[in-house]
A = this chain, B = another copy of it.
Amino acid sequence: MAAVDLTTHPGHLARRLQQAHYLLWNTMVSEQITSPQFAVLNALVAEPGLDQRTVGERVGLDRSTIAEVISRLSRRGLLDKVRDPQDGRRFLLRLTDEGTRTHRKLTVRTARMNQVFLAPLSAEEQTVFFDLIQRVSDAAEGLRNPTEPLTTQC
């Protein structure tokens, strides 16, 4: 009797959107490489030699998850992990040739998939879609970090 309408719950919509994307990715892009894995490859194409933590920051994955994703990519020979000689805590990450090839191939397919995925929206609507989601995500993320830029002096 007191049930709510989940279609007005952004969390539920976000989950459904991600599921829909996951399924389309599997059929149109790759069954081997997942979307988060592609994001990691992409980050390392942009900035080779990043350490694990920073890659996680770039693609929005926490320390544990990024460790798993990287271990899978490494096991498949798509990237190399080497200890940073400057800082023995870090591992520096770099794509292998195979990793670079995979990224290039998936970039094309991903673009096609995004077109299909966004096809129900007009060009203007797509812009709004990106803008709204990004604003909500950024704001929510900001709620986590206790707004530390308030360090006036010290």
Contact = CB atoms under 8 A, between A and B. Distances in A.
Contact-size category for A: 35 or more
A12 to B, nearest CB: 6
A17 interface: yes
A3 interface: yes
Interface of A: 1-4, 6-25, 35-36, 39, 42-43, 45-46, 59-60, 103-104, 107, 110-111, 114, 116-121, 125, 128-130, 132-141, 143-144
The copy count of this chain in the complex is 2
Given A18-B14, A18-B18, A36-B15, A8 B130 contact: yes
Of all A-B residue pairs in the complex, the 4 with the closest CB atoms, nearest first, are A20-B140, A3-B46, A11-B21, A120-B139
A81 B10 CA distance: 29
A60 B19 contact: yes
